[in-house]
Each structure stands twice: as C-alpha cells, then as structure tokens.
Structure 1
Amino acid sequence: MTTLVVPDYDAARAFYIDALGFDLVEDTDMGDGKRWLVVEARGGGRLLLAKAADDAQRSAIGNQTGGRIAFFLETENFTECHHRFVAAGVTFHEDPRHEPYGTVAVFSDPFGNRWDLIEPLKAA
C-alpha cells in the first residue's frame, strides 16, 4: 500500500472510485477529521488516501515525486480503459503512444499527481 496525500477525502474518493474505477477497501472515521481511506486498483495496488494535515503536507500535494510520473496503472485493454477515463473527465497530457514495452499515455489526477496508463506488450 502507498500513501497519497490529498487535499480532500471526498474528492479523492470520488476520483479514484468513480473516474478510475478503483474499489473501496475501507473508509473508517478515525476522529478529529481523520479517515482511514483505502482504495484498490482492480488487479491489485492499494492507495491510502491521506488528507494533508499541515502546510508541509499541503505543499506536497500533486508534487510528491518532484513532477515525475508517480504511479503506473496497468490494463489489459488500453483502448477501452483510455476511452472510459476520457469519458469520466480524466485529464490526459498526451495522445496514446506505442513504445517497445507497450501502449502508454500520461494522465493526472485532479491533485496534480502524474500517472502512466499502460498496456504492457505481451511476451511472445
């Protein structure tokens, strides 16, 4: 599981579940405005969506990897997944491209974190 700092629990939950199709694993009220909010990509890969608690954490939102791709979301059907994401309002920074390792396109979540949507090339 990886922690992802976000500005708002509900906005993060809506994006990852409604737009990307992640599954809700847990959403537990921890008191004092804190929640244990875990989502999971189909096929594995969990994110703990943690609301920023102070200025230092708020300043890291969307830049937790210094502008590099932060996450890689693999799919077995790039075209279908890409179309579904575009229809859900996901922002892509490029058209899909074919690389020696597979089909890929960079997108961002609403908080500025950059992702690769990738369909790896199948081994011969």
Structure 2
Amino acid sequence: MITNVSLVTIYCTDQDAAKAFYVDTLGFVEDTDITMGEGFRWLTVAHPDHPELEITLMKPGPPLGEELAEAVRRALADGRMGGLGLRTDDCRKTCDELIAKGVEFVQMPEERPYGVEAVFRDNSGNWLVMVEPREFTPADFA
C-alpha cells in the first residue's frame, strides 16, 4: 500500500546554487549529496518539519534523453517550469522576509478564495507558489 509521497524532482541549472537557494534562502535542510557513477550527482533537500518528503535538485541530463534534457533547459531559461506549492502561516510576512533575502516575486501576495497567494521563481527559473490557506467551498469561486 502507498503511504505517502516521498520524493519530487525540481530541475535546476546549477546544483550548488540551487542547494544554496533552497537551504540558505528558503530554510530547507540538505538531506543527501552524493556522486554516483560518471559524475551523476544525487542531491536532495527537505523541509526540516517534513523530512519524509525529499526534493531532488536535478540537472537536466540522464536519465532524460538529450532532446528532452535540452527542452527542460530551455524551459528553465524561459522561466516556464512549474516547481512547488509551498504553505505558509503568513504569506505577506514570508514574502517580505524572502524579498529581504533577494527573492524576486512574479506575483505579490493577493487574496484568493482559497487563501493568500504569492508566486516567485527560484534561481533556476522554477515557479514556486506560496499560499497561506483558508477554508473555502466551491461557492467561493462563483
């Protein structure tokens, strides 16, 4: 039986820079950083309160074929890659804290039927959506 999601992949252009962003800027912790055969680097980070969910910071390359890896690199360069949904207790305060650390927001905090939402990009171009959730019903979207 499946019990939970334990691993998601975020593609990045530079694994060291991505690790620094997720650890130093967002407050994640390094989990695994090993090199395996032919220079393949397995690098994961996790939120300190949720170590059961690792985020792999992966450079586009094997096991992807070269054509797909190049498409991922182009999407990152264009800022078109989806990333993660992040939860926060106070979207506006967290936004201010991240701006002070140099994070650039694509969308400043805005009220939505499901909570307060802001969008920023990581240093590889992935979109990260940050939400301060609240209870909602389908009628809130009418």
TM-score by length of 2: 0.73
Residue 25 of structure 1: how far off its partner (Å):
1.1
Could you tell me which residue of structure 1 aligns to residue 27 of structure 2?
Answer: 21
Distance in 1 of aligned mates of 2:44 and 2:9: 9
Name the residue aligned to 1:121: 134
**C-alpha deviations, 1:10-45, integer Å up to 9, x for none?**
011111111111111111122432221111124434
What's the CA shift for 1:51? 1.6
Q: Is there any run of 5+ residues in structure 1 with no aligned partner, and where?
A: none
Q: Which residue of 2 aligns with 1:99?
A: 112
Larger mean Cα displacement after TM superposition, 26-35 or 83-92: 26-35
Q: Kindly report the root-mean-square deviation, in angstroms, between the aligned alpha carbons of the 2 structures.
A: 2.4
Q: What corresponds to 1:47 in structure 2?
A: 55
Q: How many Å separate the matches in 2 of 1:110 and 1:91?
A: 10
How far apart, CA to CA, are the structure 1 residues paired with 2:74 and 2:81? 10
Deviation (angstroms), 1:119: 0.7
User: Quick check: 2:80–2:127 contact (8 Å CA) kept in 1?
Assistant: yes
- Structure 1 position 86, deviation (Å): 0.7
Shift of the 81–42 alpha-carbon distance from structure 1 to 2, 3 Å rule, reads farther
Do the aligned partners of 2:10 and 2:83 also contact (CA within 8 Å) in 1?
A: no
Deviation at 1:68, TM superposition (A): 6.7
- Mark the runs of 5 or more structure 2 residues left unpaired by the alignment: 1-6, 137-142
Q: Is the 8 A contact 2:82 2:127 kept in 1?
A: yes
Is the 1:92–1:106 Cα contact (8 Å) retained in structure 2?
Answer: yes
The answer to whether structure 1 residue 71 and structure 2 residue 77 are counterparts is no
Distance 1:92 1:14, change over 3 A: same
The one-letter code matched in structure 2 to 1:105 is: A
Structure number with greater Rg is: 2
Q: Which residue of the partner structure matches residue 60 of structure 1?
A: 72
Give the aligned residue type for 1:48. T
CA contact (8 A) 2:34 2:43 kept: yes
TM-score where L is the length of structure 1: 0.82
Q: Please give the secondary structure, in 2, of the residue aligned with 1:94.
A: strand
Q: Report the alpha carbon displacement of residue 60 of structure 1 after superposing the two structures with TM.
A: 0.6
Misfit runs of 4+, over 4 Å: none
